[in-house]
């Protein structure tokens, strides 16, 4: 089959079928760079903020659809460390949107057996958002169907540096496991630092943008021109189906060639 990583979407999803899972542990780890909100709004003659509001509604649909797509862990890139450079009004609106989402979705996550965690720095976000994060994480901590991780004020490079600082002088030899655990700690993730199986980026760009660089070492990459506010559960299912059709070698050769 073709191994082109740029996937052009179609509008026929009637034959899309993906394996189902019932728990966070058994499902695959999908990470999504939710790009294209601003351009979606601009194309409609609306302010960029309208794109962010529309994008927040899509998050709910994708979170609900994820378990039935065989996804056990879903990590969403909501706000990068570089996003602080955006206009202050846009940043303020995004912070309010995050808080509103957490408040509105916490009960839904509890009902749907979803554990929610926010990864990234916590020393620069508004106090009211930090309170909402703590409430949401505490309320959903027993969820077992899906691990939902939302990256806010996140930078993979910064996480690696801060993890290295934690480990400096603690041991003669640092292993990959040591670094992975330290990265989980600095990112406020309490579980295992799981590798990403499938990285999806919407909006047409084809880059990682400092997102989960360590965890994406062997991730399959799936890029779509679809802007995030237009992304649907059927698009997610299509991406997962494409993932399962690929041959993952992890640096080895196929069994037929090895024989």
pLDDT-flagged residues of the chain (< 70): 1-22, 248-251, 253-259
Whose tokens are 């062997």? That residue is 218
pLDDT of residue 204: 96
Catalytic status, residue 107: no
Query: Looking at residue 231, what is its pLDDT?
Result: 98
Q: Pseudo-torsion of CA 125, 127, 121, 41, nearest 10°?
A: -30
Instruction: Identify the active-site residue in 68, 83, 112, 225.
Output: 83
Do residues 247 and 254 make contact, with C-beta atoms less than 8 angstroms apart? yes
pLDDT score for 255: 60
Q: What was the pLDDT predicted at 229?
A: 98
Concerning whether 35 is annotated as a catalytic residue, the answer is yes
pLDDT of residue 195: 94
pTM: 0.87
Per-residue pLDDT, 95: 95
The pLDDT of residue 4:
42
């Amino acid at each position: 089959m073709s191994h082109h990583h740029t996937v052009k979407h179609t509008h026929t999803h009637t034959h899309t079928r993906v394996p189902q899972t019932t728990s966070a542990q058994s499902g695959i780890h999908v990470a999504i760079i939710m790009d294209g909100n601003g351009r979606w709004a601009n194309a409609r003659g609306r302010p960029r903020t309208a794109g962010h509001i529309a994008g927040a509604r899509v998050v709910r649909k994708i979170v609900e659809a994820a378990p039935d797509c065989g996804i056990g862990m879903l990590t969403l890139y909501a706000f990068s460390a570089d996003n602080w450079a955006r206009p202050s009004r846009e940043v303020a609106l995004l912070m309010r949107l995050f808080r509103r989402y957490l408040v509105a979705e916490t009960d839904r996550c509890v009902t749907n057996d979803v554990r929610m965690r926010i990864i990234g720095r916590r020393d620069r976000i508004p106090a009211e958002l930090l309170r909402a994060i703590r409430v949401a994480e505490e309320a959903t901590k027993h969820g077992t169907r899906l691990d939902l991780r939302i990256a806010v004020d996140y930078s993979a490079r910064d996480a690696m540096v801060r993890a290295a600082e934690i480990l400096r002088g603690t041991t003669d030899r640092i292993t990959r496991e040591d670094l992975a655990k330290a990265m989980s700690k600095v990112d406020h993730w309490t579980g295992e630092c799981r590798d990403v199986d499938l990285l999806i980026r919407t909006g047409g760009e084809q880059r990682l943008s400092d997102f989960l660089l360590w965890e994406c070492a062997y991730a399959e990459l799936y890029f779509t021109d679809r802007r995030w506010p237009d992304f649907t559960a059927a698009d997610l299912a299509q991406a997962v189906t494409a993932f399962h059709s690929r041959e993952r070698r992890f640096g080895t050769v196929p069994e037929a060639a090895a024989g």
